């Protein structure tokens, strides 16, 4: 049975150092060191729990080896990969971390905390029709709907920042990658937390992602639900 599943964490304050260390020791040594190189507690948490959510989903839900994080590698554009059967993506913004894993095909997910913006400041990232639509409805909800859709496609394809955002055309629930790619993708929304916009994209028009609660992943994760 094919699956598309996700888990997320929202942490509003620094963790107790002992609890943080308990989680940190669950990562491979290289990932521990990378986590500690971040100066802000939010960035440390984002890196740490992005990897831990991935590991728990892979092992517990997709039956991968306990040491699966040691087998991650990157494509030529820097997108992390595991194997040809399992696809995953991690996104974080401010105090929110979300991880999605799929054996249905490539997936990309983007979460953004909504904030004020100036329409003119982001003109270079939008196609003319998108810029016009945003001028007519200059709300953070509209802008971050556009932004998370474009980011989700970049992450799903693995092209990342090598692709000009204007090469992504938005058509409601669908996105189109202009030639030389000539691809259609489908967008889906998640309502994770007030103040955040979350979009994931897949090849399939009909796609339902299953939320896996923290407590279902491990008893230790359930301790975070009260932070």
Q: Annotate the chain with three-state secondary structure.
A: CCCEEEEEEECCCCCCHHHHHHHHCCCCHHHHHHHHHCCCHHHHHHHHHHHHHHHHHHHHHCCCCCCHHHHCEECCCCCEECCCCCEEEEEEECCEEEEEEECCCCEEEEEEECCCCCHHHHHHHCCHHHHHHHHHCCCHHHHHHHHHHHHHHHHHHCCHHHCCHHHEEEECCEEEECCCCCEEEEEEEECCCCCEEEEEEECCCCCCCEECCHHHHCHHHHHHHHC
Which pLDDT band holds residue 160 (cuts at 50, 70, 90)? confident
Residue 11's Cα: distance from chain center in Å? Answer: 16
Residue 92's Cα: distance from chain center in Å? Answer: 6
- CA-nearest of 77, 25, 17 to 51 is 25
Select, from the ranges 86-90, 135-139, 164-168, 223-227, the one with the highest average predicted confidence (pLDDT): 86-90
pTM higher than 0.85 for the full model? yes
Query: How many Cβ atoms sit within 10 Å of the Cβ of residue 117?
Result: 15
Which pLDDT band holds residue 1 (cuts at 50, 70, 90)? low
Q: Quote the pLDDT of residue 13.
A: 93
Reported as a single tens digit per residue, the pLDDT across 191-226 is: 999 999 999 999 988 889 999 999 899 888 877 765
- CA-nearest of 193, 208, 29, 24 to 107 is 208
Residue 207's Cα: distance from chain center in Å? Answer: 16
Whether 209 contacts 6, CB under 8 Å: yes
Q: Quote the pLDDT of residue 168.
A: 92
């Amino acid at each position: 049975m094919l699956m598309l599943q996700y888990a997320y964490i929202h942490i509003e304050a620094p963790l107790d150092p002992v609890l943080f260390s308990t989680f940190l020791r669950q990562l491979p040594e290289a990932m521990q060191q990378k986590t500690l190189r971040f100066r802000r507690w939010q960035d440390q948490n984002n890196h740490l729990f992005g990897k831990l959510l991935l590991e728990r989903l892979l092992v517990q839900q997709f039956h991968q080896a306990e040491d699966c994080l040691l087998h991650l590698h990157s494509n030529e554009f820097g997108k992390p990969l595991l194997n040809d059967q399992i696809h995953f993506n991690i996104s974080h913004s401010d105090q929110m971390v979300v991880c999605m894993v799929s054996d249905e095909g490539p997936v990309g997910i983007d979460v953004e905390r909504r904030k004020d913006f100036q329409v003119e400041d982001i003109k270079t990232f939008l196609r003319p029709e998108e810029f016009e639509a945003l001028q007519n409805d200059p709300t953070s909800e509209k802008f971050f709907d556009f932004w998370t859709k474009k980011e989700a496609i970049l992450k799903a394809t693995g092209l990342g920042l090598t692709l000009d955002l204007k090469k992504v055309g938005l058509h409601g629930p669908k996105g189109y990658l202009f030639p030389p790619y000539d691809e259609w993708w489908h967008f889906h929304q998640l309502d994770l937390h007030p103040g955040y916009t979350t979009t994931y994209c897949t090849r399939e028009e009909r796609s339902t992602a299953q939320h896996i609660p923290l407590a279902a992943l491990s008893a230790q994760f359930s301790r975070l639900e009260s932070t």
